[in-house]
């Protein structure tokens, strides 16, 4: 569907700025670019299919009287397991409070006390209460609703929904536009959108895995497109598993927010044993990768893992955490009196398209923000609630950079029937994607080994040989980059755990950078070793 009630006078042209994605980063960037004309291309109606809308915890910002920027930076560095870009993190943390006030001006109803002050909560690995929330676990939904209203009321922003971007167009060293498929990707026709500036805000990679908290749109297509266009990808091996997805067989898996453990909920196995105290002194509030492996071990051993909130939250559950409560009740579980079955699920990707402090990628004309990027602020393991903060901080910086780089808008024309028009069978429901998701969970999941990663790379290569669809090519490209990155990092650090290399190694205390050409070389070498 084309939302054409914005600036109908330019209906036959497209603005020189195209934003790919209708999540938090994309909408915030468009608002910050106002009154400059911008077009947002979204695969689904904005707010739908965006992981931002599903975020339960909130946004981290050092705003309480006892908190400081230094403390927030220190917590981020600790969680990131030694490879956080400290300079980028300091910048993000320092600009956080200003972006919170921006969101308030856009109408986000953050929780306040009776005096009108923001209520700040604590989450795992934070030393202070600094999480700005909405009704306990509804921050993402409320933020997106407020931004959608603001976008719809901003005449300079045109939203084109139901257009699945499949390809970045590169001319020389510049990205010169995108090619998208209308009708939610089902049209046999593709449309080209020329642009002087493309901002990639396409989201994460969670749906590459069989168990995830992410919507199906988060298949890594944006990362794959950027890699195919030649962009440098940073830290692809670092995938964060949320330790407490609700284990009720749903896809995506509902999430039991980190805030429950922040408020005192305990993890126990079927025998009632609080197993995390055997693993880490912080117990349930240890970094996510450690808690995820603890939960994974209990599930694999057949003992199961359960989040017991009966004492910490109890009868207040419906009011304090309505989203989690509704998910549990819908599955026949009353979290007021019963423990919630838990399982690790892919939640966030620390890796992504490499960007600088202004959101610029390694290709001129292409900026990126949100989960599709790797800015360096998350390191090997994202600190809870830093992701929404990163999205708004870098989206705002991109807007300022584009205004300075391209001060005068120039309109160009659309072009129909761009590139090849393959038969648009829905990739998202295909048997090949089901196979890939199972492969990624089994071989590139919570626990990895050299043998499992070699098997993943070989099978991804086999899927590539049998594939002729552009969207699935993007998805397979991302899966290959993650698997190759994990194979090359011969240690365990943060969200990347190798059972055959279980310790951190000093020589790997650094970020990694990978191009598709390099990943293809590794995949070819892996294939040769199998046939040798």
400-435 confidence digits (pLDDT tens) = 999 999 888 876 665 555 555 555 545 666 899 999
Q: Does 224 lie in the same domain as 263?
A: no
Q: Does 246 lie in the same domain as 229?
A: no
Per-residue confidence (pLDDT) for residue 257, from 0 to 100: 86
From 367, 389, 417, the end of a domain falls on 417
User: Does any domain span residue 4?
Assistant: no
Please answer whether residues 370 and 26 qualify as being in contact, where contact means their C-beta atoms are separated by less than 8 angstroms: yes
User: Does any domain span residue 138?
Assistant: yes
496: domain CATH number? 1.20.58.100
Per-residue confidence (pLDDT) for residue 54, from 0 to 100: 63
User: Does any domain span residue 3?
Assistant: no
User: Does any domain span residue 477?
Assistant: yes
Domain count, the chain: 3
Per-residue confidence (pLDDT) for residue 12, from 0 to 100: 42
Please answer whether residues 514 and 485 qualify as being in contact, where contact means their C-beta atoms are separated by less than 8 angstroms: yes
Q: What percent of the chain has pLDDT over 90?
A: 77
Residue count (the chain): 532
Q: Does 211 lie in the same domain as 247?
A: no
The single residue of 122, 133, 190, 288 carrying the catalytic annotation is 288
Q: Does 333 lie in the same domain as 191?
A: no
Q: Does 393 lie in the same domain as 434?
A: no
User: Does any domain span residue 1?
Assistant: no
Q: Does 226 lie in the same domain as 357?
A: yes
Per-residue confidence (pLDDT) for residue 2, from 0 to 100: 40
Q: What counts of helices (H) and strands (E) characterise the chain?
A: 15, 22
Specify whether the backbone of 161 is left (phi greater than 0), alpha (psi in -120 to 50) or beta: beta
167-208 confidence digits (pLDDT tens) = 999 999 999 999 999 998 888 889 999 999 999 999 999 999
Q: Does 358 lie in the same domain as 328?
A: no
Q: Does 107 lie in the same domain as 82?
A: yes
Q: Does 267 lie in the same domain as 122?
A: no
343-352 confidence digits (pLDDT tens) = 999 999 999 9
From 382, 417, 452, the end of a domain falls on 417
* Rounded Cα gap, residues 99 and 251, in angstroms: 33
Per-residue confidence (pLDDT) for residue 11, from 0 to 100: 34
Per-residue confidence (pLDDT) for residue 217, from 0 to 100: 85
Per-residue confidence (pLDDT) for residue 53, from 0 to 100: 60
Q: pTM here?
A: 0.91
Residues forming beta bridges with residue 38, ordered by sequence position: 157
**Residue 288 annotated in active site:** yes
Q: Does 365 lie in the same domain as 381?
A: yes
User: Does any domain span residue 514?
Assistant: yes
173: domain CATH number? 3.50.50.60
319: domain CATH number? 3.90.700.10
**Residue 23 is part of which domain span?**
17-237+350-417
CB count within 10 Å of CB 183 equals 13
- At residue 231, the 3 state secondary structure works out as coil
Please answer whether residues 490 and 501 qualify as being in contact, where contact means their C-beta atoms are separated by less than 8 angstroms: yes
Per-residue confidence (pLDDT) for residue 407, from 0 to 100: 85
* Rounded Cα gap, residues 280 and 288, in angstroms: 11
Q: Is the pLDDT of residue 10 over 60?
A: no
* Rounded Cα gap, residues 474 and 456, in angstroms: 17
Lowest mean pLDDT among 215-229, 354-368, 405-419: 405-419
User: Does any domain span residue 6?
Assistant: no
Give kind and range of the element (H or E) at residue 227.
helix 221-228
Q: Does 518 lie in the same domain as 443?
A: yes
**Which segments of 377-527 are extended strands (E)?**
412-413, 415-416, 513-514
- At residue 261, the 3 state secondary structure works out as helix
């Amino acid at each position: 569907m084309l939302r054409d009630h914005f600036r109908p006078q330019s209906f036959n042209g497209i603005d020189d700025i195209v934003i790919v994605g209708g999540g938090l980063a994309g909408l915030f960037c468009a608002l910050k670019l106002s009154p400059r004309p911008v077009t947002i291309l979204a695969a689904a109606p904005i707010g739908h299919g965006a992981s931002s809308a599903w975020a339960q915890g909130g946004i981290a910002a050092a705003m309480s009287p006892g908190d400081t920027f230094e403390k927030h930076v220190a917590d981020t560095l600790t969680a990131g397991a030694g490879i956080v870009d400290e300079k980028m993190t300091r910048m993000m943390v320092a600009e956080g409070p200003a972006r919170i006030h921006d969101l308030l001006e856009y109408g986000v109803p953050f929780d306040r006390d009776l005096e009108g002050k923001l209520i700040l909560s604590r989450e795992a690995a934070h030393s202070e209460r600094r999480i700005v929330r909405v009704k306990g676990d509804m921050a993402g939904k409320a933020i997106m609703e407020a931004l959608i209203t603001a976008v719809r009321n901003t005449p300079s922003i045109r939203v084109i929904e139901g257009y699945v971007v499949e390809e970045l167009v590169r001319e020389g060293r510049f990205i010169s536009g995108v090619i998208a498929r209308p009708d939610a990707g089902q049209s046999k026709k593709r449309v080209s959108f020329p642009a002087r500036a493309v901002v990639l805000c396409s989201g994460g990679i969670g749906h590459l895995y069989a168990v995830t908290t992410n919507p199906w749109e988060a298949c890594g297509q944006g990362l794959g497109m950027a890699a195919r266009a030649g962009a440098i990808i940073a830290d692809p091996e670092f995938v964060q598993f949320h330790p407490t997805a609700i284990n009720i067989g749903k896809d995506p898996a509902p999430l039991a927010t980190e805030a429950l453990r922040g408020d005192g909920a305990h993890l126990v196995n079927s025998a009632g044993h609080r197993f995390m105290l055997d693993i880490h002194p912080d117990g349930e509030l240890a970094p996510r990768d450690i808690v995820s492996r603890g939960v994974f071990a209990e599930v694999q051993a057949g003992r199961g893992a359960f989040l017991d909130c009966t004492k910490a939250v109890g009868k207040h559950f419906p009011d304090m955490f309505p989203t989690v409560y509704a998910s549990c009740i819908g599955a026949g579980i009353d979290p007021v009196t019963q423990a919630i079955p838990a399982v690790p699920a892919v939640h966030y990707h620390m890796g992504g398209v490499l960007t600088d402090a202004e959101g610029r990628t390694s290709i001129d004309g292409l900026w990126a923000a949100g989960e599709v990027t790797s800015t360096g602020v998350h390191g090997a393991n994202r600190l809870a609630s830093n992701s929404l903060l990163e999205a708004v901080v870098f989206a705002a910086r991109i807007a300022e950079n584009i205004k300075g780089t391209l001060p005068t808008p120039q309109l160009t024309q659309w072009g129909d029937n761009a590139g090849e028009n393959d038969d648009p069978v829905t990739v998202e429901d295909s048997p090949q994607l089901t196979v890939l998701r199972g492969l990624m969970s089994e071989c590139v999941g919570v626990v990895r080994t050299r043998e499992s990663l070699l098997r993943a790379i070989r099978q991804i290569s086999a899927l590539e040989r049998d594939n002729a669809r552009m969207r699935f090519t993007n998805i397979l490209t991302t899966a290959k980059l993650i698997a190759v990155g994990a194979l090359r990092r011969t240690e365990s650090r943060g969200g990347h755990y190798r059972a055959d290399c279980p310790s951190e190694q000093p020589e790997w205390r650094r970020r990694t950078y990978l191009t598709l050409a390099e990943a293809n070389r590794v995949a070819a070498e892996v294939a040769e070793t199998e046939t040798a």
